[in-house]
Amino acid sequence: MNWYITAVKAHPIYMAMIQFAILGTLGEFISKWISAKKFFFPFTPLITIWKMIEWAFLAVLIKAVFVGYSEGLIPGLQNHVPAFLPQAEKGTFLFAFMVSTLMNLQFGMTLVIGHRVLDNLPLKVKNWKGLDKGLLCLIWFWIPAHTITFMLPKDYQIGLAALWSVALGLLLGLFNRK
C-alpha cells in the first residue's frame, strides 16, 4: 500500500485521473452487465475510450472540489463548516457529513448534469431520461458514501470515491435489471 500513497502524494491529479478512468468506466460496465444479466462489451471501443477520458476529466474536477471542501478552501469552510451550520472539528463524523452534504448538494448537481452532457456528446443525442434518479442518487448514495470518504485520511479519499463509482454501478445495475 506504500506505493499507492507514494504515487498519490507525488501525482495527486494523475492518480485521480487514472483511478476514475478505470474504476468509473468499470462501474458503467458492471451496471450494464447486471441489468442485462450477461457479460458483454456494452460500448464500442471508441465510446469506451471516450468514457475513460470523460471519467479522467471529471476526476480533475472531483479532486479540486474534494480539496476545496475538505481543506477549507471554499469560502466559509475555514477548518469548519459555515457559521449557519453546527460547528465541527475536522476528522469528526459531523464534519465529514456536513462537508459531504454541502459538496453534493452544491457541486453534485452540476457534476451529474455535466456527466450526462458528456455521455450524450459522442452519441449526438439529448438523452435526459433518468436524470431525476441520478440527482436523487446524490442524497441516498453520494452523501452517505462521501461522509465515509471524508472521514479517511486525505490520501485515500479519491481512491475510495473512485471505488464508490463501481459500487454505484453495481447498485444501478440491480435497480435496472430486465
User: Per-domain residue ranges for the chain?
Assistant: 2-175
Mean pLDDT of 77-82: 50
For the residues 168-175, what does the mean pLDDT come to? 94
Closest CA to 153 of 76, 45, 71, 94: 71
Give the pLDDT of residue 85. Answer: 58
Asked if pLDDT for residue 79 goes beyond 90, the answer is: no
Q: Dihedral angle at the C-alpha atoms of 53, 56, 58, 60, nearest 10 degrees?
A: -140
Residue 32 has pLDDT above 60, yes or no: yes
Sign of CA dihedral 29, 33, 36, 40: positive
Residue 91, all three cell numbers: 476528522
The pLDDT tens digits of the residues spanning 156-167 come to 999 999 999 999
Contacts of 79 (CB under 8 A, 6+ apart): 72, 90
Residue 128 confidence class, pLDDT cut points 50, 70, 90: very high
Nearest to 69 by CA among 118, 111, 20: 111
Whole-structure pTM value: 0.91
